[in-house]
Amino acid sequence: MLIKPSLKKKLYFEMLRIRFVEKSISKRYKEQEMRCPVHLSIGQEAIAVGVCQNLNKDDKIVTAHRSHAHYLAKGGSLKKMMAELYGKETGCAKGLGGSMHLIDLKAGVLAAVPIVGSTIPIGTGIAWANKLKRNKSIVVAFFGDGATEEGVFFESLEFASLQKLPILFVCENNNFSVYSHISKRQSRKRNITKIAKSFGIPSLKIDGNQVEKIYSKTNSIIKKIKRKTSPFLIELNTFRDIEHCGPNLDDNLNYRSEKYINSWRKKCPIKNYGNYLKKLKLMKQSDEKKINKIIKLETINSFNFAKKSNFPKKSLLKKYIYA
């Protein structure tokens, strides 16, 4: 698939924006003003951008606890996301949800749900509703490798296949569930894409660091889903650069070897793609400075917006309690 220079630059910009925002969150988290735990996507940006750049406003996504990249890549408001992290009433969930409960209905971000595996049946249900309504939109359900160990993964695949639902299952496989390597949790012969195929769902494994490859493959897959009204699963190998939950590096814990960490950092999707654009003469040093300036200003303004916003009123607490 031929990707235009303007789109190449867009892919780079969106990845760099997510990285800068999350690095900024990491730096400011120690101020202890953010009212929630954070699960950062540093190292995994190519997946969110490569997939979401293929989606239109009517297409929906559901994401899990590591939600910032998906939210931003789908067009969620950065100001509202930042306000949500600070627990302010101007947040995307009115300051009541925090990092793990992001939502932006206008952008098609239906929910971020922290319960492991829950995005899979929720996404399947949304896809079923879409089919019953006979609209042309699809839903993308993001989840990690750990979620494929939950029963709802199998149940949802069965139902999606049986009902021929317009859903794209996206498994971000960073090889770890908190500190447990996939080899300690799953049989060596276990294959996530083959599991999908056993339910009659076509599947594909893609390099999670190659944003153009992700974009191109996903583009054709989404067209196929919409044309045939049928599910598809993609598994993308990737790398979580910092700790599972929190703003810091955790290299000192030794659950990942130095060799493992360094080998993955050499594959950084943003640095390598930036160098690729420079080789194509699509990115000058002046262009890079301009992009960084734009992203930095937007991020600073979003932090200022969050800090100046008010906390939710106490009366709001009773409004969202169901009994």
Is residue 257 assigned to a domain? no
Let me know if residue 68 belongs to a domain: yes
Q: Report pLDDT for 322.
A: 64
Q: Could you tell me if residue 274 is inside a domain?
A: no
**Distance (Å, rounded) from C-alpha 98 to C-alpha 81?**
9
Residue 273 forms part of a structural domain: no
Quick check: pTM over 0.75? yes
Q: Range of 98's domain?
A: 5-176+183-245
Does 295 reside within a domain?
Answer: no
Total domain count for the chain? 1
pLDDT at 165: 98
Polymer length in residues for the chain: 323
Q: Is residue 260 part of a domain?
A: no
Inside any domain, residue 124: yes
Q: Which residue positions in the chain have pLDDT lower than 50?
A: none
Does residue 135 lie within any of the structural domains?
A: yes
CATH code at 139?
3.40.50.970
First to last CA, the chain: 52
- Residue 178, Cβ neighbours under 10 Å: how many? 9
